Amino acid sequence: MISHAVDQVSTFAKDIDVLILLICGLVGFWFFVAEGVLFFLVFKYRAKEGGKAAYIDGTDPKHTRFISWPHRLILLCDVVIVVAAVRVWVEVKQTMPTPDQTVRVVSQQWSWSFQHPGPDNKLDTADDIKTLDELHVVAGQTVQFELVSQDVIHSFSVPVFRLKQDAIPGRVIKGWFKTTQTGSYDIQCAEICGIGHGAMVGTIVIEQPERYAEWVAGHAPVAALATPAPK
Amino acid sequence: MTTTTAPHHADAPTAEHVHDAHDAHEQSFFTKYLWSTDHKVIGFQYMITGLLMAIIGGYMAYGFRMQLAWPGEWIPGVGFLSSGRYNAFITTHGTVMIFWFAMPVLIAAFGNWLIPLMTGCDDMAFPRINRLSYQVFLISAVVLIGSFFVDGGAFGGAWTAYPPLSSKATMNLTPLGSTLWVVAVALEFVAFLLGGINFITTAMNARAPGMSMMNIPIVVWMIVVASILFMVSVGPLVAGAAMLVFDQQLGTHFFDPGQGGDPILWQHLFWFFGHPEVYVVLLPAMGICAEIITCNARKKFFGYKTLIYTVFATGIISFFVWAHHQFVAGIDPRMANVFTITTLIISIPIAEMLFLFIATLAGGQIRLNVPMLWALSFVAEFLLGGVTGIFLGASGSDIYFHDTYFVIAHFHYTFVPIAVIACFAGFTHWIPKMTGRMMNETIGKLHFWFTIIGFNLVFLPLFITGAWGDHRRIYNYDHFPDLTNAAMQDLRIASTVGLLIMIAAQGFFVWNLLWTWLKGPPAGDNPWQATTLEWATTSPPGHGNFHPMPTVYRGPYEYSVPGAAADFTPQHLPPA
Amino acid sequence: MSFAKPIATLRTSAGLPTGRLALWWLLASEVVIFGGLLASYVMQRLGHPEWAYDAEHTNVWFGAGNTIILLTSSLSAVLAHQAAQTGDGKKAARYLWLTIGGAAWFLVNKAIEWSGEISHGFTITKSGFWSFYYTAAGLHGLHVIAGATAMAIVALDAAKNKELQRVEYVGIYWHLVDVIWIFLFPLLYIAK
């Protein structure tokens, strides 16, 4: 449904889509049943000449069971949804697989800047590659990100990953994703951050290892230019 | 019916007397309409102010929807919408529609009209506090509108006003607008605290003799519970508003992470209020529809006590769900699991309420007049708003849907039924009582159908654009390569067309108002053959409402009682 | 402008006077405002042990003195209520003016204390602690002023033996102002 229009490019994108489908099925069922009953009743009990309405106060179990059984079934559906939602949530937000690479994502009014670990695959060393609005990662690798903000609250959102995380000034928030295919996709800011919010876009470039290595080789700073460690 | 004719005659000479002789007792326009302590006049003041503010909110919606359909084009009546103005428009639209339209109309206007009339007393318990409440409310509206005309323009940090964006002028670029926004909202809170105390006290203490707790009409219960919810939830945000203004104007550091503050604190204070606030406006809307559905189905409400208990349950649970707005906001991820559970639990009482509404129809004699169409469409449309909330309350799927147009579509399927549909339902049902004139059914039905078609056309496409990745509060999607495609733009245009239909449909409403004013036939005391107390007096009720004051002998929904001559038995009718 | 009380004001379906009922709801709304502020303060304070350094610069003597003043003024509010119950409006008014005197003394102390602190550089922007200190105590101070104003209005009426039931209501309100201070004093002054 969503994957029809938005690719699934992270390992958990599929899980989130399945969860959405599950909820869709359950709530869709109740929605159509309730609407169906509503329209049926309005049609069946429309005012007729000389008709008289029933006198029902809704305390007789003979009548209340039409409410209480759906009630219990909805509770059951709720339990199913909670279990499914928490499973996905724990996978995306509460586990941290060993990363192949760690990048720093810095948000500010109104652009993204990224700090790649460079050839030595360590952050905050002299060979880090800093880019503006373009994040490069290797397809199939697990990437950990450290999300920070320079000024106001932003939100790091990559729809093809089904991933979203607010960036809070004063905090470092860690998260992860594992890409499944190559391509370049939007990174969007999903929290209003001022007049430039509507133009705060970045690109994530997912490449095969060889292409990525070429990019690193072409962009790594000269080792002599020591990069000051960020605060 | 016979009991109501006597007060009518008793009242008539006084009215004529005032009309004929311009003597010293005649109140001036000022004291009668602007400085009145009469609950009916104050109800009209709130209703008219609320509807005027809705026009402002609708104008904002027109501006930003046009910009989204045809980005960067000149918009008739608005001009070019820069990103800063766009942000101010969406912020003001959200703030106005909730605080200056939904609340004044649903709680204050209907509360003022209905609580004294339905509980059988002559006015609010504190008429002068009631007047003060409206005056503070009016000032708050003026402050908010004024913020558009100060240096830097109106605040554009969204109605949630997350700091540091809202607290630092260097970041929001609206040094005065942002403070005026907070001040206006805080004044509005004060107005509704004053009004709320009045509503609660009146309904608790000023009921007609014989009206026990379980004889109170549902809408009065709902407005009282909503006022209590508002009072309890808004306190921390009042403190938060003071802190935010100090951060803006004095340079304190409550929400400034660089100096030991915490921006997330505001989010907790805001949503601890913000989520119960949804129920603050939902409950009166449901109450209005409950009155109309029972009356026009000619049936007792199915499970009156069950409904009251589910209202209490909803009210209590609503205080434990707020962090579902903050799943991805950087709170401890373990908290999300707790709030997913509480959020899904609240679906149970809400579903129960809607089932009770539907069950009430079974076995009825349903009259499909204009108020009933509105009330039934409230149930039908709100169902969609309710079920789509599950996607957002479930933490796993909220990661994707958070802050997309799916959220916008979801909460408009709750708020439009609440604020627009239920408002028109109540308006068309009670305006014969408040003015003494019937509205036109044909024009009313045209208004209904065009509004409903327009409304669905606005928001159904937004579910899809949201699912396809459209983020909120973006003034121009051309900047996002993944969101720039013809299919999504067509949906955005469809939504804007829906809004234009919805706005144009309100022409029927204005036409109907003029028709009612000029040609509306007299309503009589009880045009809908309803049972509650407000129909026991004249239309419009005179000063003091009832002559003599009524006594209550039975519950509020005694329709089609077996053995009774008429298919309705009013509450005030002495048992035979 | 003359104002006749409507029937609605005089009814008592819930079994207690309308004025007292409304007052309890007013207190409920005040409690959540201060509750929210103090809960925010406590949460922040727990996350910032360094605020203890700032808290050491508060003046416990002023705080304790003001606590005694407020408690004493609550006593005179109770005495005013007693006098009003026996129908002695003049005596009730005298006790109310005594309570107002306590409120004034409290505010004068507060002014001296704050001027001292501000002159030492402990302004509202000094740190998170001082922001909360001035905001919470300032909001409480506004309630002291509001309570004293209400008492003055009631005292003027009571001296003429009018609206004597209101003596009790302002008294209850004054107890709330007192109780809030009982929470503020240890949280802001004593916790170091």
Closest CB from A15, A45, A199 relative to B362? A45
Distance CA A107, CA A114 (A): 9
Bridge partners of residue A101, in order along the sequence: A143
Candidates A197, A201, A204, A231: best to mutate against B (most CBs of B within 10 A) is A197
What are the pLDDT digits (tens) for B137-175? Answer: 999 999 999 999 998 899 999 999 999 999 999 999 999
- Assigned domain for C6 exists: no
* Pairing outcome for strands A134-138 and A201-207: parallel
CA distance B29 to chain C (A): 16
**What residues make up the domain containing C76?**
18-190
Instruction: Say whether A85 and B358 touch across the interface (CB within 8 A).
Output: no
Instruction: Say whether A81 and B394 touch across the interface (CB within 8 A).
Output: yes
Structure confidence at residue C116 as a pLDDT band (50, 70, 90): very high
Residue A182 sits at the chain B interface (C-beta within 8 Å): no
| Domain B41-536, CATH among 2.60.120.380, 3.40.50.300, 1.20.210.10, 1.20.120.1630 | 1.20.210.10
Angle at B80 between CA B74 and CA B86, to 5 degrees: 130
What are the CA-CA distances from residue B501 to residues B295, B448, B453, B506 (Å)? 31, 12, 8, 9
The answer to whether B67 touches B86, Cβ cutoff 8 Å, is yes
Distance CA B188, CA B49 (A): 13
Residue C49 sits at the chain B interface (C-beta within 8 Å): no
pLDDT at site B499: 97
Residue A67 sits at the chain B interface (C-beta within 8 Å): yes
Using an 8 Å CB-CB cutoff, list chain B residues near C176. none
pLDDT at site A175: 95
Instruction: Say whether B300 and A58 touch across the interface (CB within 8 A).
Output: yes
Instruction: Say whether A71 and B355 touch across the interface (CB within 8 A).
Output: yes
Instruction: Say whether B198 and C22 touch across the interface (CB within 8 A).
Output: yes
Total domain count, chain C: 1
Least confident of B348-357, B456-465, C122-131, C150-159: C122-131
Residue A46 sits at the chain B interface (C-beta within 8 Å): yes
Angle between helices B347-361 and A13-44 (to 10 degrees): 20
Bridge partners of residue A175, in order along the sequence: A145
- Assigned domain for C173 exists: yes
Using an 8 Å CB-CB cutoff, list chain B residues near A56. 299-300, 302, 362-363
The number of beta carbons lying within 10 Å of the beta carbon of residue B402 is 26
Q: What is the mean pLDDT of each run of 10 residues along chain B (576 residues)?
A: 37 36 56 85 96 96 96 94 94 96 96 96 94 96 95 92 93 93 96 95 95 95 96 95 94 87 93 95 97 96 95 95 93 93 95 95 95 97 96 95 96 96 97 96 97 97 95 93 93 97 97 96 95 94 91 95 92 90
User: Rounded to an integer, what is the distance from CA B443 to the centroid of its chain?
Assistant: 24
Longest dimension (CA), chain A: 97
Closest CB from B116, B232, B262 relative to C8? B116
- Assigned domain for C12 exists: no
Q: For B561, which residue in chain A has the nearest alpha carbon?
A: A55
> Using CB atoms, which chains have 3+ pairs under 8 A with B?
A, C
Closest CB from B124, B128, B269 relative to C40? B269
Using an 8 Å CB-CB cutoff, list chain A residues near B157. 192, 194
Closest CB from C8, C31, C139 relative to B122? C8
Q: Which pair of tokens denotes residue B368?
A: 């499909």
Q: What is chain B's mean pLDDT, rounded?
A: 92
Using an 8 Å CB-CB cutoff, list chain C residues near B118. none
What are the pLDDT digits (tens) for A43-59? Answer: 999 999 888 999 998 88
Instruction: Say whether A89 and B559 touch across the interface (CB within 8 A).
Output: no
Using an 8 Å CB-CB cutoff, list chain B residues near C34. 235, 239
Distance CA B85, CA B475 (A): 9
Instruction: Say whether C40 and B121 touch across the interface (CB within 8 A).
Output: no
Residue A55 sits at the chain B interface (C-beta within 8 Å): yes
Q: For C50, which residue in chain B has the nearest alpha carbon?
A: B260
Using an 8 Å CB-CB cutoff, list chain B residues near A199. 83, 476, 479
pLDDT at site A149: 95
pLDDT at site B3: 37
Distance CA C174, CA C77 (A): 8
- Assigned domain for C36 exists: yes
CA distance C86 to chain B (A): 26
- Sites in chain A below the pLDDT cut of 50: 224-226, 229-231
A touches B (3+ CB pairs < 8 Å)? Answer: yes
Using an 8 Å CB-CB cutoff, list chain B residues near A28. 387
What are the CA-CA distances from residue B476 to residues A202, B40, B472, B499 (Å)? 15, 46, 11, 18
Helix/strand/coil for B575: coil
Whether cis (ω within 30° of 0) applies to the bond prior to A159 is: no
Q: End-to-end CA distance of chain A, in Å?
A: 43
Instruction: Say whether B366 and A85 touch across the interface (CB within 8 A).
Output: no
Instruction: Say whether A153 and B263 touch across the interface (CB within 8 A).
Output: yes
Using an 8 Å CB-CB cutoff, list chain B residues near C3. 37, 127-128
CA distance A130 to chain B (A): 22
Instruction: Say whether A168 and B264 touch across the interface (CB within 8 A).
Output: yes
The answer to whether B276 touches B358, Cβ cutoff 8 Å, is no
pLDDT at site B16: 31
Distance CA B396, CA A88 (A): 5
- Assigned domain for C11 exists: no
pLDDT at site B118: 96
Which amino acid type is present at position B106? L
Residue C13 sits at the chain B interface (C-beta within 8 Å): yes
Tokens 């996607």 belong to residue = B391
- Assigned domain for C4 exists: no
CATH of the domain at C55: 1.20.120.80
pTM recorded for the entire structure = 0.93
Instruction: Say whether B239 and C11 touch across the interface (CB within 8 A).
Output: no
Closest CB from A2, A37, A85 relative to B467? A2
Using an 8 Å CB-CB cutoff, list chain A residues near B301. 58
CA distance B248 to chain C (A): 12
Instruction: Say whether C18 and B201 touch across the interface (CB within 8 A).
Output: yes
Candidates B256, B377, B395: best to mutate against A (most CBs of A within 10 A) is B395
Backbone angles phi, psi at B202, to 5 degrees: -60, -45
Distance CA A177, CA A99 (A): 9
pLDDT at site C190: 87
Residue A192 sits at the chain B interface (C-beta within 8 Å): yes
What are the pLDDT digits (tens) for A19-32? Answer: 999 999 999 999 99
Using an 8 Å CB-CB cutoff, list chain B residues near C118. none
Query: Using alpha carbons only, how large is chain A's radius of gyration in Å?
Result: 26
pLDDT at site B330: 87
What is the residue extent of each domain of chain B? 41-536
Using an 8 Å CB-CB cutoff, list chain B residues near C25. 196-197, 200-201, 231
The number of beta carbons lying within 10 Å of the beta carbon of residue B365 is 21
Instruction: Say whether B197 and C47 touch across the interface (CB within 8 A).
Output: no
Write the CB contacts of B97 (distance below 8 Å, at least 6 apart in sequence).
B54, B57, B415, B419
Instruction: Say whether A53 and B364 touch across the interface (CB within 8 A).
Output: yes
Distance CA C80, CA C89 (A): 9
> Using CB atoms, which chains have 3+ pairs under 8 A with C?
B
Distance CA B401, CA B342 (A): 19
Instruction: Say whether B242 and C13 touch across the interface (CB within 8 A).
Output: no
Look at residue C170 and tell me whether its pLDDT is greater than 70. Answer: yes
- Structural domains in chain A, CATH included, are 13-94 (no CATH), 101-219 (2.60.40.420)
Q: What is chain A's mean pLDDT, rounded?
A: 92
Instruction: Say whether A2 and B330 touch across the interface (CB within 8 A).
Output: no
